[in-house]
Chain A
């Protein structure tokens, strides 16, 4: 959160002690429950000893393991969160980290989070976006007094474990701490995620073109479609706000006109907003707090927070053109909100 004039989401300087305000982001890829508890609990103990704000975000099973190993007294200062409730959406979770850290955790000193990401029930898109979330954490939390240890079961699908190795700069296990040899620069990882082509909208998607001066009618259309496709009533306004922002961006900063496609798919309300000619550079766009007078950043920051997942595909060098026709021009922004 930043002031609109000054911009920049600075770390809380008052709490950043010299040498300690450096983010660490480590993965523990465990093979057995014993390894998990031994390493994770040891890591938590170290934090408790120096008085770090210590947080465990895990499934009830792992939380119980940790509690059992530490004992009630030692575990008392730890703030526990259920992982299913915490990892609601990649952007929402990042905002929750930031908000909670700023208000409750950093004021107590260094933050230490043991996190067990949720993978069960996640489809291909969700897995990609949650791994992107892991890569982004390196950028977004950089310079903050925070330490994250993320738990990965070695038995998870290979793509997820590989993602862990590529998004965490360091690995911690029984053998100790070492740099992750496969760690990938977050910007490169992010670009890889963006290179995955989008499926075209279904033929049944409702389409509407827009240009300057036509947004009132576009909003009416979006609202009607959202209601027709049974979007939860309290999400209609966020949906309309988000798509209106994207359309505004295209009118002002992009090619000047575009079209939207709206449909529902696997419990999501999906809306593609396309710009036939404009290029939208997406390097963490809307993930980092908007800088002053950067209206594109401010708009996409808001859009990401209004939606569950936002995917941007743009031409010129990102590999996919607008995603699925091999056309190397234009931009497609796909917003998703959970219907319920």
Chain B
């Protein structure tokens, strides 16, 4: 569900404006996975791989390093640390052994001729897709790391050209394949990213933890936390409690972005300010973008203090 369709104003636009939740990525999608931190990146990749394995898709992972074993360990650790629902029993080693997950060092895949050639690389990927489909897979999921394109290797100055051709290739009607291209925004300049993102169908983002049209709960990564958009009331407060409990299990301190919280009832307020105490552990909770009306509610709540709760700045 998009923000525009359900009439709700956008939450923090920078974090999700127009981006597609990873679980909604479909055949024909060729999207940018732009990240600046590993938890967010692996949360997206974890869901992507999880769904791919569940749907009997072949997963092709194009990695920056030469050592496929190291890449596999990095992926496994990253996904485990990202707390993606449904990835607890994901067995990447088994998936590799069965051929369902293929890890291809980019040096071997793209630079075999010693030179990066956009046309050849697109053709190579098309072949990979075809082979997987012939093998009986229901579809193909590709994800590639892209930082190699900044190393000045021969031909990589045409990397944007390659992405453009990929975008065109993925537009092929009936193509049972999709791709997420990983861009580490700490390595690429803003101008480069803007240019490269235009060579894609759009961006992918992490899945919401909850969205019922009244309240949306989205994970945050830097710092770890949750963004709440919409209304916390009788029907959604349980979801907040559940999300906070999960949050409390994975982070000792966390941030709650309330800038998109349009309504919150007393029970919701109690749940939010109790966030620092869930599980019997006292932890620091930072409230970001606290709306003015929550101040009013705190004043009339009869509760004096907010133990372990810290406010960051003031809205408006």
Decide whether A and B assemble into one complex.
yes
A78-91 interface code vs B (CB 8 A; 1 in, 0 out): 00000000000000
Contact of A215 among B233, B277, B303 (CB under 8 A): B233
**Segment of A185-193, A297-305, A312-320 engaged in the interface with chain B:** A297-305
Cα A79 to Cα B305 with chains together (Å): 29
**Are A4 and B301 touching (Cβ within 8 A)?**
yes
B213 to chain A, nearest CB (A): 8
What separation, in Å, do the CA atoms of A302 and B300 have in the docked complex?
6
Contacts of B267 in A (CB 8 A): 248, 295, 299
Interface 0/1 of A7-32, CB less than 8 Å to B: 00100000000000000000000000
A251 within 8 A of B: yes
Q: Does B122 reach chain A (CB closer than 8 Å)?
A: no
A245 to B301, CA, bound (A): 12
- Other-chain residue from B263, B266, B296 in contact with A238 (beta carbon distance below 8 A): B296
Q: Which residue of chain A has the shortest Cβ distance to B214 in the bound complex?
A: A216
Identify which of A3, A238, A306 contacts B303 (C-beta below 8 A).
Answer: A3
Q: Is the CB of B234 within 8 A of A248?
A: yes
Shortest CB-to-CB span from B86 to chain A, Å, is: 26
- Identify whether the interface residues of A are mostly helix, strand, loop, or mixed: helix
Interface 1/0 per residue, B301-316 and A, CB below 8 Å = 1111101000000000
Q: Does A212 contact B (CB under 8 A)?
A: yes
Taking a contact as CB atoms under 8 Å apart, the answer to whether B233 and A237 are in contact is no
Q: Which residues of B contact A289 (CB under 8 A)?
A: 302
**A305 CA to B297 CA, complexed, in Å:** 10
A90 to chain B, nearest CB (A): 15
The one of A215, A237, A298 in contact with B296, judged by C-beta atoms closer than 8 angstroms, is A237
The reply to whether A1 and B302 form a contact with Cβ atoms under 8 Å apart is yes
Shortest CB-to-CB span from A306 to chain B, Å, is 6
Q: How far is the CB of B89 from chain A (nearest CB, A)?
A: 33
CB atoms of B300 and A216 under 8 A apart = no
Determine the chain B residues whose CB is within 8 A of the CB of A215 once the complex forms: 233-235
- A1 pairs with B304, CB closer than 8 A: yes
Report yes or no: A298 in contact with B273, Cβ–Cβ below 8 A: no
In the complex the two chains form, is A302's CB within 8 Å of B297's CB? Answer: yes
- Assess whether A241 is in contact with B297, with CB atoms less than 8 Å apart: yes
**A213 on the interface (CB 8 Å rule)?**
yes
What distance in Å separates the Cβ of B19 from its nearest Cβ neighbour in chain A? Answer: 25
A227 close to B (CB within 8 Å) = no
**B265 contact from A3, A4, A213, A245, Cβ within 8 A:** A245
> Separation in Å of the A98 CB from the closest CB of chain B?
10
Number of interface residues of B (CB under 8 A): 23
Assess whether B273 is in contact with A302, with CB atoms less than 8 Å apart: no
B244 to chain A, nearest CB (A): 15
| Interface positions of B from 275 to 316, Cβ below 8 Å from A | 277, 293, 296-297, 300-305, 307
Q: When each residue 250-283 of chain B gets 1 if its CB lies under 8 Å from chain A and 0 otherwise, what string results? A: 0000000000000101110010011001000000
* CA distance in complex: A2, B300 (Å): 11
Interface residues of A in 200-231 (CB under 8 A from B): 212-213, 215-216, 219
Q: Which of B302, B305, B307 counts the most chain A CB atoms within 10 A?
A: B302
A333 to B214, CA, bound (A): 26
Give the residues in chain B near A1, CB-CB below 8 Å: 302-304
Chain A residues lying within 8 Å of B235, measured Cβ to Cβ, are 212-213, 215
User: CA of A62 to CA of B56 in the docked complex: distance in angstroms?
Assistant: 87
Q: Per-residue 0/1 for B134-146: is the Cβ within 8 Å of any A Cβ (1 yes, 0 no)?
A: 0000000000000
* CB interface residues, B 216-242, toward A, < 8 Å: 231, 233-235
A244 at the interface (CB under 8 A from B): yes
Residues of B within 8 A of A9 (CB): 302
Tell me whether B274 and A4 are in contact (CB under 8 A).
yes
- Asked whether A163 is an interface residue with its Cβ less than 8 Å from the other chain, the reply is no
A9 to B301, CA, bound (A): 12
Residue on B nearest A216 in the bound complex, by CB: B214
User: Does A321 lie at the interface of the complex (its beta carbon under 8 Å from any beta carbon of B)?
Assistant: no
Bound-state CA distance A215–B267 (Å) is 14
Interchain CA distance A290-B266 in the complex, whole Å = 12
Say whether A251 contacts B234, CB under 8 Å: yes
Give the distance to chain B from A97, nearest Cβ to Cβ, in Å: 15
Q: Is there contact, CB below 8 Å, between B273 and A4?
A: yes
Q: Which residues of B contact A245 (CB under 8 A)?
A: 265-266
Closest-by-CB residue of A relative to B234 is A248
How close is A244's CB to chain B, nearest CB, in angstroms? 6
In the complex, how many angstroms separate the beta carbon of A243 from the nearest chain B beta carbon?
Answer: 11
Q: A212-B234, A213-B235 in contact; A248/B265 too (CB < 8 A)?
A: yes
Known: A302-B297, A302-B301, A305-B300. 12 other contacts (CB 8 A): A3-B303, A3-B304, A3-B307, A4-B270, A4-B303, A213-B235, A237-B296, A240-B263, A245-B266, A248-B233, A252-B234, A289-B302
* Residues of B in contact with A (beta carbons under 8 Å apart): 214, 231, 233-235, 263, 265-267, 270, 273-274, 277, 293, 296-297, 300-305, 307
What are 22 A-B pairs at a CB distance below 8 A? A1-B303, A2-B302, A9-B302, A212-B235, A213-B234, A216-B214, A216-B231, A216-B233, A219-B263, A238-B296, A244-B233, A244-B263, A248-B267, A252-B234, A289-B302, A295-B267, A298-B266, A298-B302, A301-B302, A302-B300, A302-B302, A305-B300
Top-10 shortest CB links A-B: A305-B300, A4-B303, A248-B234, A1-B304, A213-B235, A215-B233, A289-B302, A301-B302, A302-B266, A290-B302
